[in-house]
Each structure stands twice: as structure tokens, then as C-alpha cells.
Amino acid sequence: MKILAAMSGGVDSSVATARAVEAGHSVTGVYLALHENLASTEVNTGPIRGCGNPQDRADAEQIASQLGIDFEVWDYAEEFSRIVINEFLSRYAAGHTPNPCVFCNENVKFAVLQRWAMENGYDAVATGHYARVLHNLDNGNRVELHRANYRQKDQSYVLSAVGNEVLEHSLFPLGDMESKDAVRAEAAKRGLFVSQKPDSYDICFIPDGDTLGFLRARLGSEPGPIVDPEGVQIGEHQGAIGYTVGQRKGLGIGRPAKDGKPRYVLDVNPATNTVVVGPRELLGLNHIVGEQPVWLADELPVAEGVRAGVQVRAHGREIPATVRIEEDAMYVDLDEEVRGLPRGQSVVVYLGSRVMGQSVVAHTSR
């Protein structure tokens, strides 16, 4: 097959690309420069943070040369800023806590790579994601997205919104790996110099890790009231965007609660610039309404719902639930309570290891 390999300069995408080459495919490596100045050849000699910088670009190019494949750099910084960063900011401005990786995979990375690949005679796009995609199954399904064998690193959660048309032309060569140590060992065995390169965990467009500073610089910050569940003001914040549901530290409340127990952020209301705080038990919820559902299975859940497992955080545990979809909304009734789930996060539905669908949390209740 003719394969377009997304190369980030890290060990995962390097091993995934090497595996595609070894399998006999005709492979072209592509580095997506998604942030300002990352399309340049200037190398950053400082600490590496985030999932992309000029050092990553140089590393990806060197790995491609070592593997003997063509390599290209595509500058999509303007599109990334317009689509992903603007959405991230607008969500925070609305009092949500978004997951930019889910949105980026759906609307930029896979959208860009797949569109170009299909228009230029390629058969599939290969990435270093930890997930499994099964093609042309005996049960009649054209494609299914499944969890990776390495559960601790599984990334099916952030891939859940890309859709079946994209998955049909996707390859995840690391889906069968049993551990990150095994990936690093394979990279070392192949002589790939990135075998011990550190992982990236930060939001890629906030390389210094200061999310609050990033938000305040772009959205501003205006003091407002911190209130208890009855609406009584008990403090003042320096900008509601700096708070997220479930937060305990950094509330800036001078006086303790009457019962002496810690208080948590229960809600953020940008319209009134108000932050509501209260006891931990008020964070509990077992009902979720999700918007913008993406369903990967052939049949949608009927009105009475289907039994499935639900994951509400990128590396959270799976919770048994009943799921149904009505009028472009997903309704999830959890068998047990979860605490502190902010609007804007993804709720992903599983049946065994298979991803059935996902939606974005719009409302929660108990």
C-alpha cells in the first residue's frame, strides 16, 4: 500500500513509521507544523515541552532519512490557530473545560492528512497512536475502532470523534504493543536515536505549561464573586476562566467552610463572572447529556438505551451505563456517581474494547 505516515519526531511515530516501511509499504513521512515558527528549520536547544517544536521537526526529518523515505513539512499553523486554538478559547470563555486533542484529531490532524492522502493516491494514513483499527471484519463491519493492547497508554478516547470514513483509511501500527518500554526497546533495536526521548504531556500550543496565563493573556481576567451553593458571596476571584469544575486548590477563599471541610468548584458561570464552590459531595453526578454525538456503530442506541461502558476522562476508568441518542443529543445514565466532570469534556462509549461513539458533555446532574 501507499502510506502517508504522520511523524511527530517522537519515539511512537518513529516506530510506527518504521513498522510501515518494514511491512513493505511505500511510505512518505509528513511533519505537521501546527504552531508559529514550527515550519522553520531553527532548532530549539532548550527543554522540550508540548507535542511539537523545531527540535521535533528536525528529529522527524532525521528518522525519515534513516528509514530511507521521502519527508515533507506542511505548515498548517494558521489553520490550527483558527480551528483548534480559537475553539479552545471560546469553550473556556463559555465556562467549559475542553479537550483540545480530541478536537484537533477530528478537525485538523486527520482531516488534513486524510484529505491530502485520498486526493493524491494514497491508501491510508499511519500514526503512532495507541489504538487498534480493525478492517473488513467477518461480522460485516467495514471498520471498528478498539482500545490498544497497552491499556495504560490507550488513546482510543482521543480518536473517538474522527468518524468511520477516516478510520477506514487509518493504520495504528502500535495498537498491539504491550508497553511503552516495548516500544522504546524496539526503537533501540532498530537503531532509532529517539528511543529514549521523553514523552510530551502538555497542551502542545502552551509549551510552558501555564494554561491559566495563556487564557488570561487572550481572554483577559476580571475579578468577580466566589459564592456558596446558596449564592452567598464568600470570596473574590481574579477571573472565572481560571477555574474548572472539581478544582480544590488555589480558590483564594480566606475563611474556612463552617464544617471545616475543603471546598471545590461546583460551577463556573461566565455570564455573571461567578464561581460557585461547595462541599465535595455536591460534585457527584450520574446523568450526562452530551452534544454533537459521533456514533461509530452501524445502529444508533434506541430510545430505551443500550448497556455499555463509558469513559469520561482521557485516562479514566470505564463505568457501566445506559446510553441512548435522541435528536442529536446523547443521554448517559451512569450506574455509579462520578465527581467533578466539567462541561466540554468527551464522554466515550465502549462495548468491550470497541469504541461505539462519543459526545461532548453539555449538562450533568444527579
204 a catalytic residue: yes
DSSP helix/strand/coil, 61: helix
For residue 215, report the phi and psi dihedrals to the nearest 5 degrees.
Answer: -65, -45
What amino acid is encoded at 354 in this protein? R
Spatial separation of the C-alpha atoms in residues 98 and 103, rounded to whole Å = 9
**Residue 24: what residue type?**
G
The kind and range of the H/E element at 18 are helix 11-22
Distance CA 100, CA 90 (A): 12
Give the angle subtended at the CA of 118 by the CAs of 116 and 119, to the nearest 5°: 65
CA–CA separation, 284 and 143 (whole Å)? 36
Cell of 114: 486524510
Backbone angles phi, psi at 310, to 5 degrees: -130, 135
Helix (H) or strand (E) holding 337: strand 329-339
51 flagged as catalytic = no
Contact 158, 105 (CB under 8 A): yes
**Those residues with Cβ within 8 angstroms of residue 103's Cβ, 6 or more apart along the chain or in another chain:** 83, 84, 87, 88, 161
Residue tagged active-site, from 104, 166, 227, 361: 104
- H or E element that contains 146: strand 143-147
Catalytic one of 21, 51, 158, 204: 204
Residue 3: left if φ>0, alpha if ψ -120 to 50, beta else—which one? Answer: beta
Handedness of CA 244, 248, 249, 255 (dihedral sign): positive
Q: Which three cell numbers stand for residue 118?
A: 485520498
Angle of helix 180-189 relative to helix 11-22, nearest 10 degrees? 60
Cell 480558590 belongs to 251
Cα–Cα dist 295/325, whole Å: 9
Tally of CB atoms within 10 A around 124 = 21
Catalytic residues, by residue number, are: 104, 204
